[in-house]
Amino acid sequence: MTKKSKSKSITFVDLKAQYLSIKNEIDAAVNDVINESAFIKGKYVQQFEIEYAEAHGSKHCISCANGTDAIYVTLKCLGIGSGDQVITVANTWISTAEAISQTGARPVFVDIHTDYYTIDVTKIEEKITSKTKAIIPVHLFGQPANMDVILDVCKQYNLLLIEDCAQAHFAEWKGKKVGKFGIAGTFSFYPGKNLGAYGDAGAIITDDDKFAINARKFSNHGAIKKHHHDFEGINSRLDGLQAAILSVKLIHIKDWNKKRFDIALHYNELLDDIEGVTIPQIRHDAMHVFHLYVIRVEKREKLRKFLIKKGISSGIHYPNPLPYLKAYEYLNYKPADFPIAYNYKDKILSLPIYPELDYQKVKYITSAIREFFNC
C-alpha cells in the first residue's frame, strides 16, 4: 500500500459520522425513552407513525420490526397465499421474493431495465397468468420504477400494487412520493438506509382503512387491544428506541437526500468521460435519492481490488440476481431468462455515497478510478 493510500481510508458507509452530526438530538431522544421505559409500542412509536404518515401525505403508517416483515405483513393482509403468483424484479435484495414465498405464493421474476436497473416494464405483461395476484416493483438504488406503465398494467389485469420502497425514502415519480401509488408502500429502516434506525425497523404506509387495521393487528399477534386477539398474527413491532431515533432523523432526511443527489452529480461529472465506466442514469420524470451510486465496468473485480489498495471501500448490489440464487434453484432459470440482470452481475459496482462524504473524498475516489483506467 502506498503512502497516499495509507493516509486515506474511505468507508462504504459512515454511520458514526452521521451520528456525530446529530449526537445531542439522538442522545436526548434515547434518554427519554429509557427514562420513561417506553420500549415496546407506546407514545414514541405512535409519534413516529404519525410523523411518517404525514410526511407522505398518507392516512396510515403501520410500523413493524423490519422491511422484510413490512412486505410479508402487507401480502398476508391482502390475502396472498398458496397457489398465487406475485411479480417482482430479478435483481434486488432477497427480502422481496422471500416474503412472497413465505406466504405460500410464488415469486415471478422480470428482468431489469438496461439503464435504470428497476423492473423492465415492457416485460411484465408476458409474465401475467391467471394465478397472478400482485406486482411488487422495487425502487432500486433510490430510483423509482416507471409507475405509469405499472399502474396501467395493474388496472388492466386487476392486480394489486405493492411498492417496495426500502431503498427509496422520499423518492418521487412525477412529483408524487413512492409508496403512494398502490394499496401500500413498504419501507426498511435498516441502519445503512437513507433513513436508518440503529437496528432493524420497518413500516407500511397506506390510505386504505380496512387494510391498515388488519396490518396493525397482524403485526401485533392479531390484536389492537392487549389480550384481545381477533386472529393469529405475528410479533413484528417497532420498539420505542428505534422509533425515537427515526423521529429525530426524519427531520433531516430531506437535507440528507439532497446531499446524496449532489454527491451523485459530482461523481457523474468526474466519471462521465472515462471510457469503460458507465455512470448511473436518472429518469427525467423521477427524483432519485441515491441510496446507492452504482457504476458498471468490465473489470469489476480488478478495479475493486485496486480501490482497496487505495483505501476505498465499495460494494456489489448484487453478486447474483435472485433467480440464480441457490434458494431459487427449484425454478430452473437459465442465464437467457434474465439476460440483462445476468450480464450486469459481474459489472456493477457501488461506490461510497452518504451525506457526510465530502467532495475531496469523491475526487480522490474518482481520481483512483481514472488511474486504474489510465486516464
Domain parsing of the chain, residue ranges: 3-7+252-372, 19-250
User: For cell 424484479, what's the residue?
Assistant: 89
Q: What is the mean pLDDT of residues 202-226?
A: 97
Q: What are phi and psi of 44, to 5 degrees?
A: -75, -35
What is the pTM assigned to this prediction?
A: 0.96
Cell, residue 128: 401475467
**DSSP characters over 348-365:** EEEEP--TT--HHHHHHH
Q: What is the mean pLDDT of residues 154-171?
A: 98
Query: Is the Cβ–Cβ distance between 356 and 17 less than 8 Å?
Result: yes
Nearest in space to 341 (alpha carbons), one of 325, 327, 323, 329: 323
Instruction: Return the H-helix or E-strand segment holding 100.
Output: helix 95-102
Tell me: pLDDT of 78 over 60: yes
pLDDT at 5 (0 to 100)? 43
Least confident of 7-16, 100-109, 222-231, 249-258: 7-16
Mean pLDDT of the chain: 96
Tell me: pLDDT of 35 over 90: yes
pLDDT at 7 (0 to 100)? 55
Q: Where are the beta strands (DSSP E) in 5-130?
A: 60-64, 85-89, 106-110
Instruction: Return the H-helix or E-strand segment holding 273.
Output: none
Question: What is the C-alpha to C-alpha distance for residues 103 and 236, in angstroms, rounded to an integer?
Answer: 15
pLDDT classification of 2: cutoffs 50, 70, 90 = very low
Q: What is the mean pLDDT of residues 72-91?
A: 98
User: For cell 401500500, what's the residue?
Assistant: 184
Q: What is the CATH number of domain 3-7+252-372?
A: 3.90.1150.10
Q: What is the mean pLDDT of residues 36-62?
A: 97
**Do β-strands 286-287 and 172-173 pair in parallel, antiparallel, or remain unpaired?**
antiparallel
Q: What are phi and psi of 296, to 5 degrees?
A: -120, 135
pLDDT at 8 (0 to 100)? 78
**Domain 19-250 sits in CATH 3.40.640.10:** yes
User: For cell 478495479, what's the residue?
Assistant: 303
Query: Is the Cβ–Cβ distance between 95 and 67 less than 8 Å?
Result: yes
